[in-house]
Each structure stands twice: as C-alpha cells, then as structure tokens.
Amino acid sequence: MTSYTIQIWNQSQAARSYVLFVQQPELASAGSPQGYTNAWATFPSVTNGGFDRITFDETIYAYWSEPPANGRTQSGGVAPVNTQTHDTVAFSGGSPTGFTSVTSPGSAPPGTFAIVTGSDFTPSNGYVLGVARMAASPIPVPTMTFLALPNTISTIRPIHTYYVAVGDYAPGEVMDAGLVAGAAEIDFTGRAQTTATVIQQPDGTFSVTYG
C-alpha cells in the first residue's frame, strides 16, 4: 500500500498550532444521523520557521466509542475494513459492547463498508460509530463520527482528501466544520507524487506543493 506524507511549514511570522482532518465520507443510514468531523492529526505550537509532518497510508477502520465527553471520544474500539471487498461489520450495544464480527467480502455497495447494528441498545445509550485512521498514535483516531441507531445499516464511502487548518485540537476531538473554508486542501488522487508540503504564508493563507 502506498504511503503518503503531509508536511507543514510555518512561515506566518508567529507560532501556530495546526490540525489535519479528512473530508467527510459519504454516509447513508436510516434516520440520517449527522456526521461530525474529528481532528485526525495535530501539530501544536509550531514555531515560525518550524515544520512538522505525518506519514500515513489509506488503511481504514470501522470505529465505535462510548458517549463522547466535551467533544472528545472515550473508550471504544476499531476493526480494519476494506472497501474493495465491501466489508460488513456487526456492532453490539449489549454486553460486551463492540464489534462482534467482520464479514469480508461483505454485502456493502462497491467502494464502501457497512456497520450493522441490532436491537440491543437505544439512541439514549449515546454510542458513536464512524471511521478511523492511523495517525501519530499507535491507536487509530476517529476522523468522522455519528450517533449509533439500532436496527440500522450504515454504509460509508471514505474520501481521501485532506485539509490543514490553524487550530488547537486534540486528536479525535469534534471540530468546527467551518474550518474547511480557510483550510489548505490536499488531494493525491491522480498524482504520481506522494508528498505534499503545506506552507502558511505571512498573510495567513496556505500554499500546497507536491513532490
């Protein structure tokens, strides 16, 4: 699997904290729960003239967690999934709580994976489902989450487009989706290059080069 690198170079004339997040995937689910963007990787207090980077691949995980507190995820779990084999993951809200099986190849539509829930919990339990990816932590970090609903099949089509914005977040923390407007967009689709350099200029704008 191809590895990619995103590096951030601060030339804004002041120390900045940056956050890397992923474009929300396409979510199809009965009840149409709202999808939330989560901070994926964070780069705190990058000095003027300083730089930081992350290297990653496109491995995807199905994600679940206990109810978040103060916008941050709590205990939970992940299961690796493959959209090329249309994997289907079963979630149990009973005891023990978590993913009980992964069917591969599964029955999800092409290019997606699915999370299937049963009748052993209610929305008031506050369980959260979503997508996670590896970042700096050895534990996958959620990049998009939504409220789990019982007796539901949720299909998720990941989108491999990335954004860098100024912001002080913890990995996995729910973000303000409005940050996309001023963020740098990184998209490796159709490119031979696997490294993107994001530079914040003195006027606060971003430039992106590939190499």
pLDDT tens track for 9-25? 999 999 999 999 999 99
Pairing of strands 113-117, 88-92: parallel
- For residue 46, pLDDT over 70 is answered with yes
DSSP 19: E
- Please state, in angstroms and rounded to a whole number, the distance separating the CA atoms of residues 117 and 109: 17
177 CB neighbour count, 10 Å cutoff: 12
Tokens of 42: 């964070």
Q: What is the tens place of the pLDDT at every residue in 126-159?
A: 999 999 999 988 899 999 999 999 999 999 999 9
- 22: β partners: 162
- pLDDT value at position 89? 99
Question: What proportion of the chain, given as a percentage, has pLDDT over 90?
Answer: 88
Eight-class DSSP state of 177 = G
Give 87-133 pLDDT, tens digit per residue: 999 999 999 999 999 999 999 999 999 999 999 999 999 999 999 99
Is the pLDDT score of 71 beyond 70?
no
Beta-bridge partners for 142: 132
Mean pLDDT (whole number) for 177-188:
87
Judged against a pLDDT cut of 80, whether residue 177 lies above it is answered with no
Contact 122, 150 (CB under 8 A): yes
Whether the Cβ atoms of residue 38 and residue 21 lie closer than 8 Å to each other = yes
